[in-house]
Amino acid sequence: MKLKDKWKRGLPYVGNKGQKVEQIMEVLPHGKRLVDVFGGGGCVSLTAISSGKYEEAIYNDRRKTVVELLRSLINDEPHFNLMDYVVLTREQFLDWRDNQPDSIERTLVLTVWSFGNNLNGYLWGNKIEKEKLLATRALFSGNAGTQLDELYSYAKNETTISGKYTVYHKWYRNRLEQLERLQQLERLQQLERLQQLEYSSKDYRELDIQSDDIVYCDPPYVGTSEDYGGFDYKAFENWYLHECPAKEIYISEYTQLPHTEVAFNFGKKQSFQAKGKRKDELLLRVIKETAK
- In single-letter form, the type of residue at position 189 comes to Q
Give the count of domains, the chain: 2
* Residue 56 falls inside a structural domain: yes
- Is a pLDDT exceeding 70 seen at residue 96? yes
- Taking residues 239-250, what's their average pLDDT? 97
Same domain? For 160 and 251 the reply is no
* Residue 74 falls inside a structural domain: no
CB-CB neighbours of 87 under 10 Å: 17
Q: Which of 111, 127, 89 is nearest to 42 (CA)?
A: 111
For residue 242, give its domain range.
3-62+202-286
What is the rounded distance in angstroms from the CA atom of residue 150 to the CA atom of residue 85? 21
Q: Name the 3-class secondary structure at 60.
A: strand
- In single-letter form, the type of residue at position 187 comes to R
* Residue 70 falls inside a structural domain: no
* Residue 291 falls inside a structural domain: no
Domain end (from 158, 189, 220): 189
- The neighbouring-strand residues paired with 60 are 200
* Residue 72 falls inside a structural domain: no
pLDDT tens readout for residues 126-180 = 999 999 999 999 999 999 998 889 999 999 999 999 999 999 998 887 899 999 9
- Is a pLDDT exceeding 60 seen at residue 226? no
What is the rounded distance in angstroms from the CA atom of residue 9 to the CA atom of residue 291? 40
Same domain? For 97 and 54 the reply is no
